Amino acid sequence: MTDSLKVVKNGKILEVTLDRPKANAIDNATSRAMGDLFAEFRDDPELRVAILTGGGERFFSAGWDLNAAADGAAIDGEYGVGGFAGITEMHDLNKPVIAAVNGMAVGGGFELALSCDMIVAADHAQFFLPEIFIGIVSDAGSFRLPKRIPYHIAMEMLLTGRRMDMEEAQKWGLVNAVVPQDQLMAKAREYAETMIQGAPLSLAAVKELTRATANMSMEESYAFMRSGNAEIYDKMLASADAEEGPKAFAEKRDPVWTGK
């Protein structure tokens, strides 16, 4: 672990604060530490949902640490488990992650938010991708952003680096909620508390199916679901929790999930 990450386990919820003043930029060591942390979260049966935020109120994250890059740190290849910032390439993370964007999400910081399953943002936050002005490209932004908002708006951000405020982000459905800064974590925790009322395997199956069928037709998606290759989905159907849910409903009580 690194001093740049502040970690709190709040019952079944993992809260992670990226705290590297002044801009919460991410160097290789921080990226590797984030990957290790999210791998632990992935593998811990007691943890169900993660919330990721930034320290302070100005930056969620400025992305890649350009000072480290100027000193010769590699721009690619040393990020560790899960790719840049720990989750941009952690494709087997079948637990929800909520980005609580407390300020500017710049470059890789915006990519990090896009890699989460939900985004809650403070009303003063901004998103932008300035990579073209430093001689590189936003890879995760190029892959993810055109799938989240209209193509021409995404390309405008990627090709001009212009900033998006939260009013516009709401317009395009890029964020789940926009709240005042002092309500940010409360809103993220509200979503997380709702999620942990659901069955663990159901949450995991949602992520598995959504990821696997992202580029499939409806017919192909159903075929995949029934193919025997959707391992978590199949495990969910055969689980004790799939019996517990209807039973608890019929008995008018809260279900007791085991994740099995």
* CATH number, domain with residue 107: 3.90.226.10
* Cβ atoms of 127 and 98 closer than 8 Å: no
Same domain as 155, residue 124: yes
Q: Report how far residue 96's alpha carbon sits from residue 152's, in angstroms, rounded to the nearest whole number.
A: 29
Do 44 and 89 lie in a common domain? yes
Pair 191, 208 in one domain: no
Mean pLDDT of all residues in 30-58: 97
How many domains does the chain contain in total? 2
Q: Where are the alpha helices (DSSP H) in the chain?
A: 28-43, 66-70, 108-114, 139-148, 151-160, 166-171, 184-195, 200-212, 218-225, 231-237, 240-250
Q: Tell me whether residue 14 is in a domain.
A: yes
CA distance 121 to 55: 14
At residue 77, does pLDDT exceed 90? Answer: no
Task: With cut-offs at 50, 70 and 90, classify the pLDDT of residue 1.
Answer: low
Res. 106: pLDDT tops 80: yes
User: Is residue 111 among the annotated active site residues?
Assistant: yes
- 222 pLDDT more than 80: yes
pLDDT confidence of 91, banded at 50, 70, 90? very high
pLDDT of residue 206: 98
Summary mean pLDDT of the chain: 94
3-class SS at 47?
Answer: coil
Degrees to nearest 5, angle at CA 95 with 90 and 96: 100
**What is the reported pLDDT for 35?**
97
Answer yes or no: 193 catalytic. no
| Tokens, residue 223 | 């075929």
Say whether pLDDT at 112 is over 90: yes
61 shares a domain with 9? yes
What pLDDT score does 5 carry?
97
Residue 14, both tokens: 């993992």
> Which residues make Cβ contacts (< 8 Å) with residue 249, sequence separation at least 6?
255
- Does residue 69 form part of some domain? yes
Q: pLDDT above 70 covers what percent of the chain?
A: 96
What's the one-letter identity of residue 147?
K
| Residue 158 phi, psi (nearest 5) | -70, -35
| Domain range for 237 | 200-250
Q: What percent of the chain has pLDDT over 90?
A: 93
Q: Indicate if 119 and 244 belong to the same structural domain.
A: no
**Mean pLDDT value of segment 249-256:** 96
pLDDT in the model for residue 156: 98
Contacts for 235-238 with beta carbons within 8 Å, 24 or more apart?
Answer: 235/201, 236/199, 236/201, 236/202, 236/204, 236/205
Residues 216, 161, single domain; the answer is: no
Query: How many beta carbons lie within 10 A of that of residue 173, not counting itself?
Result: 9
pLDDT at 2: 76
Kindly name the residue from 78, 131, 190, 251 that is annotated as catalytic.
131
From 40, 111, 219, 243, the catalytic residue: 111
Q: What is the mean pLDDT of residues 244-248?
A: 96
